[in-house]
Amino acid sequence: MERAPPTASRRLRPLRAARRSEAGVQEVIGYILAFFLSTVVLLFSMNAFTVTRGSSQLLQAAAELELVANTVASHVARFSTYAEVFPNATASSLLRLPAVSGVDYYVALGRDNVSVNTTDGRIRTNATTFAAGALSLAVDGTAHAQGGLVRLCYWLDDQGDFNTANDVKHLRIQDGRKACGGT
Residue 144 lies in a domain: yes
Residues recorded for the chain: 183
* Domain membership flag for residue 5: no
Domains held by the chain: number: 1
Q: Are strands 149-157 and 168-175 parallel, antiparallel or unpaired?
A: antiparallel
Asked whether residue 45 is assigned to any structural domain, the reply reads: no
Classify residue 17: in a domain, yes or no. Answer: no
Q: Is 83 within 8 Å of 171 (Cβ atoms)?
A: yes
Instruction: Identify whether 9 is part of a domain.
Output: no
- Percentage of the residues of the chain whose pLDDT score is greater than 70: 77
What is the predicted pLDDT for the residue at 10? 56
Q: Is residue 29 part of a domain?
A: no
Note whether residue 63 is domain-resident: yes
Checking if the pLDDT of 36 tops 90, the result is yes
**CA atoms of 56 and 51, how far apart (whole Å):** 9
The pLDDT of residue 20: 62
**For residues 134-150, average pLDDT:** 78
pLDDT of residue 11: 55
Residue 34 lies in a domain: no
Q: Which among 156, 177, 142, 169 is positioned nearest to 72, based on CA atoms?
A: 142
In terms of Cβ atoms closer than 10 Å to its own Cβ (0-12, 13-18, 19+), residue 127 is buried
Expressed as residue numbers, the domain containing 167 is 52-175
Residue pLDDT, tens place only, 39-89: 999 999 998 888 877 778 888 889 999 999 999 998 888 888 888 888 788
DSSP secondary structure string, 92-143?
EEEEEPPPBTTB-EEEEE-SSEEEEEETTSS-EEEEE-SSGGGGTEEEE-EE
Instruction: Quote the percentage of the chain above a pLDDT of 90.
Output: 19
**Of the given ranges (12-21, 25-34, 137-146), which has the lowest mean pLDDT?**
12-21
- Encode burial over 34-45: b for 16+ CB neighbours within 10 A, e otherwise: eeeeeeeeeeee
| pLDDT, tens digit (0-9, with 9 covering 90-100), for 155-176 | 877 665 555 555 677 788 888 7
